[in-house]
Chains A and B, each alone.
Chain A
Amino acid sequence: EPEVTQTPSHQVTQMGQEVILRCVPISNHLYFYWYRQILGQKVEFLVSFYNNEISEKSEIFDDQFSVERPDGSNFTLKIRSTKLEDSAMYFCASKGETVNTGELFFGEGSRLTVL
């Protein structure tokens, strides 16, 4: 069964460092997303990406964050200068081949710990 894969599964970093989280969405999907979930809290939307550009982003997705789809398969989230409050689980998700319908498929997540 096709799946969304994410790396790394866990990353520990020092405050102020740059972090890149990687995702390989399901191959024929069109929409890609990043969500985050702080421990014990709700799943929060960060950004959606369609047709090689950001389609929507939340207030959380400030100038410290960026996304890229460099090679047609990977979808990356970069945090330029991490803060303590960036510690969370980051989920990548993709949506099926039909543009306006379908459910989200999530990767297993990348746990980011900022010290």
Chain B
Amino acid sequence: RKEVEQDPGPFNVPEGATVAFNCTYSNSASQSFFWYRQDCRKEPKLLMSVYSSGNEDGRFTAQLNRASQYISLLIRDSKLSDSATYLCVVTSFTGNQFYFGTGTSLTVIP
């Protein structure tokens, strides 16, 4: 079983749309959770950490449901610059090993 599974995508949405990505993880003892963004042929960059209480950063909202082992990312009012691959990342119990999902590709269309 994969450590982290994500929606396969791709998602093609018009500017201004709201889009949601989902992710599930297999290890109930995982300590930390993140969404990373990866532009084509670039390194992954942290978008936001994900906390049990849910957290918001501008147009981005992340949610964690530990009981269901489920993580989500909501992007409101999509911009062209949001086009990228979004990676769900979950750590081990120790927090020192990071497991990546396959990524979900988003293209925002004018």
Where the two chains meet, the residues of A that have a C-beta atom closer than 8 Å to any C-beta of B are: 31, 33, 35, 41-45, 48, 50, 55-56, 89, 91, 95, 99-109
Interfacial chain A residues near B32, Cβ < 8 Å:
101-103
Q: Are B99 and A103 in contact (CB under 8 A)?
A: no
A31 contacts B46, C-beta separation under 8 Å: no
Contact of A45 with B96 in the complex, beta carbons under 8 Å: no
Within 8 A of A (CB), among B94-110: 94-103
> Are B96 and A103 in contact, with the CB atoms below 8 A?
no
B residues contacting A by CB (< 8 A) are 31-32, 34, 38, 41-46, 49, 87, 89, 94-103
From residue B12, how far is it (CB to closest CB) to chain A in Å? Answer: 18
Contact B102–A42 (Cβ < 8 Å): yes
> Quick one: closest B residue to A91, CB to CB?
B43
Candidates B34, B41, B46, B87; contact of A89 at CB < 8 Å? B41
Question: A55 contacts B96, CB within 8 Å?
Answer: yes
List, in ascending order, chain B residues with CB within 8 A of A100's CB: 31, 94-96
